[in-house]
Amino acid sequence: MVFRQGLEGGFQGRTNKLVDGCYSFWQGGASALIQRLHLLVDEQVFVSDEVKGDEADSSQSSADLSEEEHEEEHCLGGTSPHAGEHSSHEKEGAGQQNPSDQVNPDWFGIGGTGRNVETEPLFNCIELQRYILLCSQVEAGFRDKPGKYRDHYHTCYCLSGLSVCQYSWSSKVDSPPLPAAVFGNYSKNLLEPIHPVYNIVFERYKEAREFFMLPF
């Protein structure tokens, strides 16, 4: 996907094709999702490592306790008074799932795209913005490439791709990008952040999600 960004700065749909303004979103939006996927994978690895660390500490504590109980039992000449406690704890824990095995559906669904980004963009965002604004923009609309006419389809996806570019360096979806991440005049060119899956403004997405999650 990264190699689909041509020398012009725009994206092509596949090899041996000319760059096309609409792929600013089709390729750029996919890149935004991959950025957040890196974070989700890191979270899973972190949880797994944390659980392993807790299990190691627990095993060490159990070993120390067993040693003490063995000595206590040897001194008393009978069964350890804590033996029953261990069996009851084991029964309680038998039905519990390991946190590392639990899957948060939000990670793979609509909620995961709203998480913070900690990896840099996979493509040259400034060059793509330059192509969109200087080559695709014409007469208050956007087009496939120079020589073509503007239309609603390319206007929609060029603007969506432009938004993805501008927010690719933002750590949070709802945080404004730094001036260096926006090509041209910051106040005039900055767009609203869009959802990379549904291609709608993030505020509208959050409103819709909150509405449909309400009990009816």
Q: Could you write out the DSSP letters of every residue in 160-189?
A: HHHHHHHTTT-SSTTSPPPGGGS-S-HHHH
Q: Does residue 78 lie within any of the structural domains?
A: no
DSSP state of 150: P
Question: Contact, 39 vs 115, CB < 8 A?
Answer: yes
Name the token pair of 182.
């926006």
- Give, for all 216 residues of the chain, the pLDDT tens digit: 778 888 888 888 888 888 898 999 999 888 888 887 876 776 676 655 555 555 656 655 555 555 555 555 544 444 444 444 444 444 444 444 444 444 343 433 444 444 555 567 888 999 999 999 999 999 889 999 999 999 999 999 999 999 999 998 887 777 889 899 999 999 999 999 999 889 999 899 999 999 998 886
pLDDT of residue 187: 93
- CA–CA dist 101, 56 (Å, integer): 17
Question: Structurally, how many domains does the chain consist of?
Answer: 1
Alpha helices in 77-151 (DSSP H): 83-94, 105-108, 125-131
- Tell if the pTM clears 0.75, that is, is over it: no
Q: Does residue 88 lie within any of the structural domains?
A: no
Question: Contact, 108 vs 137, CB < 8 A?
Answer: no
CA distances from 25 to 159, 175, 185, 194 (A): 8, 20, 21, 10
Name the token pair of 191.
């767009």
Its domain, for residue 38, covers 1-45+119-215
Q: Does residue 87 lie within any of the structural domains?
A: no
Q: Does residue 133 lie within any of the structural domains?
A: yes
| Buried-state track 171-187, b at ≥16 Cβ within 10 A, e below 16 | eebeeebeeebbbeeee
- CA–CA dist 196, 17 (Å, integer): 24
pLDDT of residue 69: 56
Q: Parallel, antiparallel, or unpaired: how do β-strands 141-142 and 137-138 relate?
A: antiparallel
Q: Does residue 8 lie within any of the structural domains?
A: yes
| CATH code for the domain of 38 | 1.50.10.20
Place of tokens 């709203």: 114
Q: Does residue 207 lie within any of the structural domains?
A: yes
Q: Does residue 89 lie within any of the structural domains?
A: no
DSSP state of 100: G
Question: Contact, 99 vs 47, CB < 8 A?
Answer: yes
Q: Does residue 97 lie within any of the structural domains?
A: no
